[in-house]
Amino acid sequence: MVILEEQQKHSDDDLVRACREGVESAFEELVRRYKDRVYNVVYRYLGNHEDSVDVALEVFVRAHRSLDRFKGDAQVYTWLYSIAANAARNKLRDRSRKGRNKGVSFEALQERAPSLAQSITTDAVNPSHLAQKRELNDGLKACLEDLPDSYRLPFVLRTFDNLSYADIAATVDCPPGTIKSRLNQARKRLRDCLTKRGVL
Amino acid sequence: MAPACEQIRSEFSALLDDELNSEDRELVEEHLAECAECLRELHGFKQVADAYRYHHPVKAPDDFEERLRDAMAPAPARFGQQWPAARLAAAAAIVVGIGLAYWRMSGPEPGAFQTTMRAEEPARESTADAIEPAAEADTELTQESMAQGAPPEMGESEALAGRESDTAKAKPVPGDQIAGESAAEEMAESVAKRPPEFQGGGAGFGGGGGGFGGRRSETRQRDGEMTGRGADGFGGAATNESEAAPPATVPAPPAPEPPSASEPAPQAKPPAPAPASEPAPHQLRESAAMKDDTSTTGDADTPATPSRRAELKREQPGAPADGKELEKTMPEAVSEEAVVTWREQRFSVVEGTLEQAGYDGEPLTEITLLSDAWHDILDRYPDLVDLVDGTQPVIVQLDKTWYRFKPTA
């Protein structure tokens, strides 16, 4: 417990430094700090829990392997997100190559990962409310999946992780002005899509 | 739409995300106070933002950390890096096993081992207890070189170069004294009994374990001395060059001197200048990269079957058990760098960059991952994702153009 408390006081850079020195508990702490954020972003990007688990695991495996190459000139989370973005994009391509463009259905998810399904529906106890929420989720997810990659990633990072334009720009390596423009386009397209689906 | 409206609407996302400076915010708000259309448009943006904002965040599965531990658990490279003695011990066991098998198949000839080994790999003999005079001399010299502070591999190569003529004259030890001694001796014997193309190089296991992943500049300097076989782990020296057929895509580099491996194995080899006949450790370490120095520079984009990154070939290190001893007896210890194959081109890590063999400093087109240019390239070469994983820069030639793909962070 003392060790954990000590680690909680450490900054991300301290943890990375400790990881490089072979302190495995430092890496474990890093994982604990960011696994949910990374998973959430990846899931929103891919729309599929099965693939998201694979990608999220891959993110941390790659991060662990390339700790010595992390220069510290970016935030740890933008570094993790850039790995995640690349891995997620690869997964998308892999998925489309194999013709598997459909995400896991909600029913299948309930069967395989009830806790995950629950996290989507949160505290919706009322069945009709649950159904309504599910439709909203499906519609939102579908419209998000229809977005081109260059719009989807900035939108996901902003909307689901509240990254600043500067951090998003660092993650995808383009100017903040471009991020602003892409977010605008993303929201325009989402608005049109959601309106068409009757969600808005 | 009025130009003013278009410009104002381009700021809507920034407005909603609180990314506008106060001056721009004021301008937008002033316009919205007078433009109902823009206000309606902004409302649509806000609905989208709200719809997704209240979408609760999804958490990682409960067993995520456990699954991560499982995913990270088998890590051969880490194993070797963290526990070099254990790695070397495992490598030694492999070397010995294969060497023993080879020796038993080929059968040693009394005396032949002695002479051949003296001429070619005197450093190996230093751990063979039976080969005392030369071994001790070699050991002393090697230790001396090392004690002088030179990098072991460099010191040894120079030592080996100097000692080669000496060891060639060393008192021969009877073959039966050699046979059946330590496992290292057996392996050393097996080296002598290898086909000529496998003489003179390799870090162990019967000719295997040539080094790879060395410095490209050093590699280039040794171009003429090196062979195209190094990456297989069978000999990094020029001695192999004329004997072994190079791989289809790798023309053999010209050797500056006649390779000594052309002589039959049992015969004593005349002393030769060290670079040609005495593969220095660092040369052998680079042998895998060297192999591809003269690889064709075209053809990364030939329509071959894309290879997965899982084709990562990790050369088996060939080194006997003991760490310190290794440096003396197995100077050609294999580095940890792996060789990757993609579209039949080989890549190795050079100073943190995964570099295609054959790259010789040509101008590069730099592309950052996730940029628009990256996406364009991926559209043309979808399997590039098998090579570029975002953890390190990658230098690769596509359609006669050299690219450097760099991670975003």
A66, A149, A158 member nearest B391 (Cβ):
A66
The string of DSSP letters for B187-205 reads: HHHHHHTS-GGGTT--SBT
Band (pLDDT 50/70/90 cuts) for residue B387 is confident
Q: Which residue has the higher pLDDT, B57 or B61?
A: B61
A119–B56 CB contact, under 8 Å:
yes
Per the prediction, chain B carries an average pLDDT of: 62
% of chain B at pLDDT higher than 90: 15
Contact B387, B340 (CB under 8 A): yes
The answer to whether A101 contacts chain B (CB < 8 Å) is: no
- Print burial letters for B133-145: b (CB count within 10 Å at least 16), e (below 16): ebbebbbebbbeb
B48, B368, B385 member nearest A191 (Cβ):
B48
Q: What is the CA radius of gyration of chain B?
A: 30
The answer to whether A190 contacts chain B (CB < 8 Å) is: yes
Closest to A141 in 3D by CA, of A178, A109, A174:
A109
From B68-72, B225-229, B299-303, B313-317, the region with the lowest mean pLDDT? B225-229
Note the pLDDT of residue A92: 82
Note the pLDDT of residue B23: 93
B389–A93 CB contact, under 8 Å:
no
The answer to whether A56 contacts chain B (CB < 8 Å) is: yes
Note the pLDDT of residue A11: 86
Asked if the model's pLDDT at residue B233 lies above 50, the reply is no
Contact B92, B319 (CB under 8 A): yes
pLDDT digits (tens, 9 = 90+) for B241-273: 444 444 444 444 454 444 444 444 444 444 444
Please state, in angstroms and rounded to a whole number, the distance separating the CA atoms of residues B225 and B111. Answer: 29
Q: Which of B49-63, B81-95, B161-175 has the highest mean pLDDT?
A: B49-63
Q: Which residue has the higher pLDDT, B109 or B231?
A: B109
pLDDT digits (tens, 9 = 90+) for B330-355: 444 444 455 788 888 899 988 888 99
Note the pLDDT of residue B130: 45
Question: B22, exposed or middle or buried, with CB in 10 Å at 0-12, 13-18, 19+?
Answer: exposed
Q: How far is B286 from chain A (nearest CA, A)?
A: 22
Please state, in angstroms and rounded to a whole number, the distance separating the CA atoms of residues A155 and B373. Answer: 20
- What pTM did the predictor assign? 0.45
Note the pLDDT of residue B380: 76
The answer to whether A119 contacts chain B (CB < 8 Å) is: yes
Q: Which of B13-27, B177-191, B261-275 has the highest mean pLDDT?
A: B13-27
Interface of A with B in 150-169 (CB under 8 A): 150, 153, 158-160, 164-165
Q: How far is A3 from chain B (nearest CA, A)?
A: 18
Note the pLDDT of residue A136: 54
- Kindly state the DSSP code that residue B302 receives in the 8-state scheme: S
The string of DSSP letters for B336-353 reads: S--EEEETTEEEEEETTE
Over range B379-404, report the average pLDDT.
Answer: 83
Q: How far is B364 from chain A (nearest CA, A)?
A: 19
Asked if the model's pLDDT at residue B287 lies above 50, the reply is no
Band (pLDDT 50/70/90 cuts) for residue B180 is very low
Per-residue pLDDT of chain A (200 residues; tens, 9 = 90+): 445 555 556 788 888 888 888 888 999 999 999 999 999 999 988 888 899 999 999 999 999 988 888 877 778 899 999 999 999 988 888 877 766 544 444 455 555 555 555 555 444 445 555 555 555 577 888 899 899 989 999 999 999 888 999 999 999 989 999 999 999 999 999 999 999 988 88
Confidence check on the interface: ipTM exceeds 0.95, yes or no? no
Q: How far is B350 from chain A (nearest CA, A)?
A: 13
**Residues in chain A closer than 8 A to B56 (CB atoms):** 119-120, 122
Note the pLDDT of residue A130: 56
Note the pLDDT of residue A178: 94
- Minimum Cα–Cα distance from A75: chain B residue: B409
Instruction: Say how far residue B302 (Cα) sits from the centre of its chain.
Output: 23
Please state, in angstroms and rounded to a whole number, the distance separating the CA atoms of residues B143 and B325. Answer: 10
Note the pLDDT of residue B95: 83
Note the pLDDT of residue A175: 93
A38–B60 CB contact, under 8 Å:
yes
A171–B408 CB contact, under 8 Å:
yes
pLDDT digits (tens, 9 = 90+) for B203-230: 444 333 343 333 444 444 444 443 434 4
A35, A70, A136 member nearest B64 (Cβ):
A35
3-state SS class at B209: coil
Note the pLDDT of residue B301: 44
- Minimum Cα–Cα distance from B352: chain A residue: A69
Over range B294-321, report the average pLDDT.
Answer: 45
Over range B65-77, report the average pLDDT.
Answer: 80
Q: To the nearest 10°, report the CA torsion of A83, A88, A91, A97.
A: -120
Helices (H), B252-341: 274-277, 281-285, 287-291, 323-329
Asked if the model's pLDDT at residue B36 lies above 80, the reply is yes
Q: Which residues contact B369 (CB under 8 A, 6 or more apart)?
A: A82, A86, A173, B388, B390, B405, B406, B407, B408
Band (pLDDT 50/70/90 cuts) for residue B170 is very low
Asked if the model's pLDDT at residue B61 lies above 50, the reply is yes
Q: Return the residue in A82, A144, A161 with the most chain B beta carbons within 10 A, the one to mutate for interface testing.
A: A82
- Minimum Cα–Cα distance from A191: chain B residue: B48
Contact A160, B57 (CB under 8 A): yes
Structure-block tokens of residue B316? 């088996």
- Kindly state the DSSP code that residue A115 receives in the 8-state scheme: H
